[in-house]
Chains A and B, each alone.
Chain A
């Protein structure tokens, strides 16, 4: 673990370097490899006549931006959820938040003429909210405590419910089935940069709230009484942090579909490296989460060429061994 302020700073800088490297790899590697010079040229002097430039601007760049954004968001959401529930297995995927968002998006797509993430992001946010309320309501014990196994079971059950509802809707409405299938599996490809822009304010609000609440999140870890010492009620803090989680997870699902396990693994890695202080933990989560999803996306291009494997499948395959390791280690 990195203990000193200076070494943590270095760690974050290294994380930044890792993200940059992963970002570059995501832009340059694929069925057509692209030289760094071409990439810079495409950014500075875009020439629509050159195929490489078109690939960069319409395909690779949006893909890398979305992967980085979604990876960072899911990792931060996972870290906050683990803090709030004091449960190492908590994450937007396991606790059903992603599935709730997905179900509402499927409803929106099959009933309303909405076809861009900016159109159905509100459905995704609503779904995330509903799922979060459901899981919290279902897993509270008598004294408001959340038992680890129960939270996970409630999350899995809520996930099963939303997934089977979505399946039902998609079977009845086969038209939407084909258009959303790939997105359902979790994918960062085939989107334009313009779909990200309308969602940026949401990510911005979440980030701002995160920065304001960092100290409260630290206090929350030590117990609800510590939060009172900071002059705020624990319930209010949890509500605000929950809002951050819903904003981050909901927008991520709207952009990239169901991508699991990033929110589970990354906070554990970040905690191992940077400790439990949220002032360091959250930036570290953002950097590592972005790197993880970028790299998983690059790997997904080479797993089964020329077929693009949905990146959600990649993260599930990477994440499962880790989840089982956590389940075995925990004394439950």
Chain B
């Protein structure tokens, strides 16, 4: 058993593990440095020293307000959302055994988007905007359940799930479009910006709302790392190794839905992060799930952080949605990825 278990874990090789740990630590350092950089850039000119001063000795100054209330929550939310989307993507790609799966492709994002736009169209600004994340999350869970239900045929075939998800996203996308078309122009623009994915006006309570999802779902999916590695070799191999494939798949799916749903709830439809971050991470640390998850989270956080930074400072005085830049980088990278993996069987 020990022998076969080690076979299923490509991460057991010590040299590779060390390399993965070092690379992940480096990524974490880069992320911290980038957060510092992002903190000191913005429409209001601030020097790095001023920012450090405002951080360490908070006082009633303009700079302290900008740093603590405007920039820091936004940066933290970008990091959390990016990490959540990336881990959600890594899980899905592992379950589906296809490098092209991601929360946007199989309909989780579009379910959340539909619910959020419904909320905006029905209540506008009447009801507190703080209920928007709750409704988006509900939409994500609802659509994931629907995908599962409709793809069920005496079991779950990953590819059937993907196809059903694609079909459902088309329908939910149609309803979203309908809602945007029938609401007035201003509300339509709000909904459209939300759909693209934006971290504009992020607040501390958003950060605190996002954090628990990561704290629960990421450790939970890491405990299933061995099962995931076994399932990567095929259902039969995993069953032979004593993995309860259906249960593992359900738990991991639930983690993925929770992470993607929460991310979409707080930042809108940022596409492509869940798709490309796991690939970049896999090139750095390899495919063992236990190493892939932390590295993906870091890469995803970096992507969203820089996309938001660009949107914030590159086109002043405009504050553009981060989603534009994520897709701008993500989509071409994705095409390259498809091209590179074109000889695989999937």
Chain A interface residues (CB < 8 Å from chain B): 89, 93-94, 134, 137-142, 147, 149-150, 152-154, 156-158, 160-161, 164-165, 167-168, 170-172, 174, 177-178, 181-182, 184-185, 260-261, 304, 307, 309-310, 312-313, 316-317, 319-320, 323-324, 327-328, 330, 332
Q: Do A316 and B105 touch across chains, with their CB atoms under 8 A apart?
A: no
Q: Do A164 and B272 touch across chains, with their CB atoms under 8 A apart?
A: yes
Top 8 A-B pairs, shortest CB-CB distance: A316-B174, A327-B163, A164-B327, A161-B331, A168-B324, A320-B171, A323-B167, A138-B338
> Would A138 and B192 be within 8 Å (CB), given that A89-B163, A149-B346, A178-B185 are in contact?
no
20 additional A-B residue pairs with CB within 8 Å, beyond A153-B105, A184-B177: A93-B170, A141-B343, A149-B98, A157-B105, A165-B331, A168-B327, A171-B196, A172-B318, A177-B192, A185-B181, A261-B170, A316-B171, A316-B174, A320-B171, A323-B166, A324-B168, A327-B166, A328-B150, A332-B157, A332-B163
Closest to A167 in B: B196
Q: Do A185 and B170 touch across chains, with their CB atoms under 8 A apart?
A: no
Q: Do A167 and B171 touch across chains, with their CB atoms under 8 A apart?
A: no
Docked pose: A264 CA to B295 CA in angstroms: 40
- Residue pairs across A and B with Cβ atoms less than 8 A apart, 16 shown, are A93-B170, A134-B335, A139-B342, A147-B345, A157-B338, A160-B105, A164-B323, A165-B328, A168-B324, A171-B192, A172-B320, A185-B177, A323-B170, A324-B164, A324-B167, A332-B163
Contacts of A330 in B (CB 8 A): 163
Q: Do B166 and A156 touch across chains, with their CB atoms under 8 A apart?
A: yes
Q: Do B343 and A304 touch across chains, with their CB atoms under 8 A apart?
A: no
Q: Do A181 and B180 touch across chains, with their CB atoms under 8 A apart?
A: yes
Contacts of A138 in B (CB 8 A): 335, 338-339, 342
Minimum CB–CB distance for A241 against chain B, Å: 22
B182 located at the interface, meaning its Cβ lies under 8 Å from any Cβ of chain A in the complex? yes
Closest to B167 in A: A323
Closest to B153 in A: A328
B308 located at the interface, meaning its Cβ lies under 8 Å from any Cβ of chain A in the complex? no
CB proximity to A under 8 Å, residues B167-210: 167-168, 170-171, 173-175, 177-178, 180-182, 185, 188-189, 192-193, 195-196
Q: Do A142 and B343 touch across chains, with their CB atoms under 8 A apart?
A: yes
Contacts of A328 in B (CB 8 A): 150-151, 153, 160, 164
Chief secondary structure at chain A's binding surface: helix
Minimum CB–CB distance for A212 against chain B, Å: 32
Q: Do B338 and A171 touch across chains, with their CB atoms under 8 A apart?
A: no
Q: Do B189 and A177 touch across chains, with their CB atoms under 8 A apart?
A: yes
B321 located at the interface, meaning its Cβ lies under 8 Å from any Cβ of chain A in the complex? yes
Q: Do A307 and B182 touch across chains, with their CB atoms under 8 A apart?
A: yes
B296 located at the interface, meaning its Cβ lies under 8 Å from any Cβ of chain A in the complex? no
Contacts of A317 in B (CB 8 A): 171, 174-175
Q: Do A160 and B324 touch across chains, with their CB atoms under 8 A apart?
A: no
Docked pose: A158 CA to B150 CA in angstroms: 25
Q: Do B346 and A150 touch across chains, with their CB atoms under 8 A apart?
A: yes
Docked pose: A140 CA to B196 CA in angstroms: 30
Contacts of A157 in B (CB 8 A): 100, 105, 275, 334-335, 338
> Would A174 and B189 be within 8 Å (CB), given that A324-B168, A328-B160 are in contact?
yes
Residues 20-35 of chain B: 1 if any A CB is under 8 Å from the residue's CB, otherwise 0? 0000000000000000
Number of A-B contacts (CB under 8 A): 156
Contacts of A172 in B (CB 8 A): 318, 320, 324
Contacts of B339 in A (CB 8 A): 137-138
| Residue in A140, A181, A332 whose beta carbon sits within 8 Å of that of B188 in the complex | A181
Minimum CB–CB distance for A255 against chain B, Å: 18
Contacts of A168 in B (CB 8 A): 196, 321, 323-324, 327-328
| Residue in A153, A261, A309, A320 whose beta carbon sits within 8 Å of that of B98 in the complex | A153
Q: Do B159 and A332 touch across chains, with their CB atoms under 8 A apart?
A: yes
Docked pose: A227 CA to B346 CA in angstroms: 28
Q: Do B327 and A171 touch across chains, with their CB atoms under 8 A apart?
A: no
CB proximity to A under 8 Å, residues B99-141: 100-101, 104-105
Q: Do B105 and A313 touch across chains, with their CB atoms under 8 A apart?
A: no
Contacts of A160 in B (CB 8 A): 104-105, 271-272, 331
Docked pose: A182 CA to B320 CA in angstroms: 23
B144 located at the interface, meaning its Cβ lies under 8 Å from any Cβ of chain A in the complex? no
Q: Do B327 and A161 touch across chains, with their CB atoms under 8 A apart?
A: yes
B162 located at the interface, meaning its Cβ lies under 8 Å from any Cβ of chain A in the complex? yes
Closest to A178 in B: B185
Q: Do A141 and B159 touch across chains, with their CB atoms under 8 A apart?
A: no
Q: Do A313 and B175 touch across chains, with their CB atoms under 8 A apart?
A: yes
| Residue in B174, B320, B343 whose beta carbon sits within 8 Å of that of A312 in the complex | B174
Contacts of B167 in A (CB 8 A): 320, 323-324, 327
Docked pose: A182 CA to B177 CA in angstroms: 9
Docked pose: A185 CA to B176 CA in angstroms: 10
Contacts of A94 in B (CB 8 A): 166
> Would A149 and B327 be within 8 Å (CB), given that A157-B100, A261-B170, A319-B170 are in contact?
no
Task: Name which of A139, A168, A261 has the most chain B CB atoms within 10 A of its CB.
Answer: A168
Docked pose: A98 CA to B327 CA in angstroms: 19
Contacts of A184 in B (CB 8 A): 177
Docked pose: A170 CA to B320 CA in angstroms: 11
Closest to B198 in A: A171
